[in-house]
A and B are shown apart, each in its own frame.
Chain A
Amino acid sequence: MLETGVRQVRVAMAMVFGRRMNPRLVERLVDDALATLHEFGSPGEDVEQLVDGPFSDPNERRDLQTRALRRTARRLRDKSAFYRERFAAAGVDPAELTLESLRKVPVTLKDDIVTRGADMMCADPYLSTQTTGTTGTPTRVWLSRYEIELWPALIALSMLLRGEVRPGDCMQINLSSRATAAVQEDVELLRLANASARLVGQVPPDESLDQLLDRTGAVPTLLSGYPSYIGQLVTAARRRGLGPDDFRLRSLFVGGEVLSPTLADAARDTFGVRQINDNYGVTELLPAGGRTCDGGHLHLDLNMGYSEVIGLDSGEPAGVGELGTLVVTPFYPYRECMPVLRYDTRDVVRVLPEELDCELAGVPAVSKILGKESRMLRTSAGIVGTREVVETLDTLPGIEWPSRFRAGVADDGRLHVVLAASGQSPSDVVKAFADRDIDATAEVVELSDDEVRRFCPLRCDLREETFTRAPAPKETP
């Protein structure tokens, strides 16, 4: 117990003073958390403060974040040619940076990483990870050994203390194997948490279901995947007549795409999961991210990064109720190799009031991601985001998840949706939008599997083929 206290103090000092953390130290804290759970069954008091940080006081939050930003900016000035230029051009002294003067530094865009990635390297690269490229050119991000060791330990600690993972759990990982950082992080954090992993990838949904049903070895209790792939799994499971009694799943971890409440409910009903963790994570910003509360807010991690919401049109901080893109600066010492400052995710959110009534009320929040800025639809009645379209289409009776569609704004300023589906009528689609006070026109088209993937590519299309269900190759004479 005394040792644990000393370790906690050492980690807290590293956080406050921005010193490089010893990943072994955090791993030992994970062991301490495991011992605590073994003895008591749950963490002790004030665990929220340990996990989420002392951020309920706005002044304390501002002070801690200003210091974290300064040390991050100082390091970028010293080690990154790209940001050295940026600071000089903006006339900003990193050592004197404030939350206000930070806005003088232009945001970093994905194109900057693609074109100037080499000038952003601040440490020896070890592992490259690549974005899936669903919204354009894939971005390659390099990670250091330190990051690869530290992140899983930090995440394992917080997940254990929040009860999101327990010793003995088994997570089936249905992420694309090209998402190396996320997959590596999951596998390693499960090892640290005395849990196990079934690394399945994005194989055909029926093979995934077979793995979920398999009773040899560790049986999956947690499932990780993209919402579109989860949609395919739910559809396949229902087609096979499978229900909650067939699975031992407790929680679902999703991210990277919109998860509609309808699909979430369907996943609960089909797999019997009690908890769905709809997390926000961007490869360029890891390990800074966010998680969704029961109230549907996205609470951003204040320990590891500073978040801003920049108005869609104004370029200034968005006010309460306004839409803006999420701009995040991950802090040193969490991000080491290829850090970014003011990275504009182009993910659109709505700014929420400071005071919220949810289980994570101590951590400021924004709305869930509404969609990419480039896909916001400026109709005559207002802006419609991808989330609204997905959430509406997913409610259509008989729809096969994931919904595939294209949406645009018609000449008359109304929303126009083309849905790729069978057995749906345009009038039902129009009515579904009307029920949400969205004036829309609709078409329904029937497309082949290949056509539908080209029509509306989703992360579930990053398929990994196997020989299990593929037709046997022709024998050569």
Chain B
Amino acid sequence: MSTGQQIYQTGVTLAIAVAVPAGAVFYFRRVRVPRPPVGTFNGRDILVMMGFVLALPFVYLALPGWALPAVLALVFSGGLTVGYQPVVDRTPVRWAIILSLLAVDLAGHQLLGSDSPVYWIANSVVVGMIVVSATNLNVQGGMRLRHIAWFVLALAVYDLTFATVIPLTQKLAEAIQGYPFAPSAGLRVGGYSAVIGMGDLLAYALYSTASYKAYGRSGLRLAIVLVAVFGAILPTLAPPVIDAVTGHRPELIPAQVLFGPAAFVGYLALRRRGPERRMVELPPLPAAPVPAAA
């Protein structure tokens, strides 16, 4: 990989890794998602989430190639309609927007190919929006920074295991390659390419939003620095550095292996500031603008 390609990969990865959590925090500060009458996120929900993380790759790999995009399209549309119901209240309008987004994504892939920048921009917008909504459903549902810190630490172990001991991650990357609705965001322009997985983006967005919820702007600042350094810069720079040192370039550096421990240490540092804020302790949302009288 040339220096230019390396700079491109690091720059685009950094931009996406920071932009999506920023979007999630923006949403968090502006919108409240509906919640059930009773129920708040707890430690057992993390176990359930980890169960999904463990099971989903096997489900994806077990599906026939043609079924995978269909399943992903269903998941995407479901996630978008739940997450953006408070933003676009009218169901027909919301569904029209969602279907249009998915249509652009699909059309970009089918008409221009899986390396087309149009496809990747459309797909990245869809994936980013889903991550923003999924993050807010969880954090506004009572998920705490403590939960996320343990979750990303578990993800680090998971990623390390499935990237090195059992090569599942690589198989999965190969399985979804070439299909529309890839669960990843990025941009390919000519020979330049930068792609970041939806799971990684979700971990960054959850960690940043929960840090903001728990400790305000100072929590968010630390989270964004950790995401930028350990979630984007180091994972993209690690392969050439290792190559330079050892003469062997690793195919894949799972980002969570670097981000998980750093995020956990970040949580321990933030925890020293006191207990996490609860939803009830957050300042009220800014009032919606009142339409001017005619």
A9 to chain B: closest CB distance in Å? Answer: 12
**Residues 1-18 of A contacting B (Cβ, < 8 Å):** 1-5, 8
- B38 interface residue per 8 A CB criterion: yes
Number of interface residues of A (CB under 8 A): 24
- B141 interface residue per 8 A CB criterion: yes
Contact yes or no, A8 B278, CB < 8 A: no
**Residues 233-288 of B contacting A (Cβ, < 8 Å):** 278-280
- A467 interface residue per 8 A CB criterion: no
Q: Contact check: which of A8, A32, A33, A41 meets B280 at CB < 8 Å?
A: A41
Contact yes or no, A4 B38, CB < 8 A: yes
**Residues 1-57 of B contacting A (Cβ, < 8 Å):** 34-42, 44-45, 48
**CB neighbours of B141 from chain A (8 A):** 1
- B142 interface residue per 8 A CB criterion: yes
Nearest residue, chain A, Cβ from B36: A44
Contact yes or no, B40 A39, CB < 8 A: yes
Q: In the bound complex, what is the Cα–Cα distance between A266 and B293 (angstroms)? A: 45
**CB neighbours of B280 from chain A (8 A):** 38-42
Q: Contact check: which of A2, A29, A38, A41 meets B38 at CB < 8 Å?
A: A29
**CB neighbours of A50 from chain B (8 A):** 37-38
Q: Contact check: which of A1, A45, A47 meets B40 at CB < 8 Å?
A: A1
Nearest residue, chain B, Cβ from A49: B37
- A46 interface residue per 8 A CB criterion: yes
Nearest residue, chain B, Cβ from A43: B37
A1-B45, A1-B141, A45-B34 known; A32 and B278 CB under 8 Å? no
**CB neighbours of B278 from chain A (8 A):** 38-41
Contact yes or no, A3 B44, CB < 8 A: yes
Number of interface residues of B (CB under 8 A): 17
B81 to chain A: closest CB distance in Å? Answer: 17
A1-B45, A3-B45 known; A44 and B279 CB under 8 Å? no
**CB neighbours of B42 from chain A (8 A):** 1, 3, 35
Q: Contact check: which of B34, B35, B38, B48 meets A32 at CB < 8 Å?
A: B38
Contact yes or no, B37 A41, CB < 8 A: no
Contact yes or no, A36 B38, CB < 8 A: yes
Q: List 12 A-B contacts (CB under 8 A).
A: A1-B40, A1-B42, A2-B45, A3-B42, A4-B40, A5-B36, A32-B39, A44-B35, A46-B36, A46-B37, A47-B37, A161-B38
Q: From DSSP, what is the main secondary structure of chain A's interface residues?
A: helix
Q: In the bound complex, what is the Cα–Cα distance between A274 and B280 (angstroms)? A: 23
Contact yes or no, A40 B38, CB < 8 A: no
Contact yes or no, B36 A40, CB < 8 A: no
Contact yes or no, A44 B34, CB < 8 A: yes
**CB neighbours of A29 from chain B (8 A):** 38
A167 to chain B: closest CB distance in Å? Answer: 13
In the complex, per-residue mask of A43-70: 1 if CB is within 8 Å of any chain B CB, else 0: 1111101100000000000000000000
Nearest residue, chain B, Cβ from A160: B38
Q: In the bound complex, what is the Cα–Cα distance between A358 and B142 (angstroms)? A: 33
A1-B42, A3-B44, A3-B45 known; A39 and B34 CB under 8 Å? no
Q: In the bound complex, what is the Cα–Cα distance between A33 and B36 (angstroms)? A: 11
Q: In the bound complex, what is the Cα–Cα distance between A4 and B44 (angstroms)? A: 11
Contact yes or no, A5 B37, CB < 8 A: no
Contact yes or no, B38 A8, CB < 8 A: yes
Q: Contact check: which of A3, A38, A45 meets B36 at CB < 8 Å?
A: A45
A31 to chain B: closest CB distance in Å? Answer: 10
Q: In the bound complex, what is the Cα–Cα distance between A35 and B37 (angstroms)? A: 12
**CB neighbours of A8 from chain B (8 A):** 36, 38-39
**CB neighbours of A43 from chain B (8 A):** 37-38
Contact yes or no, A1 B37, CB < 8 A: no
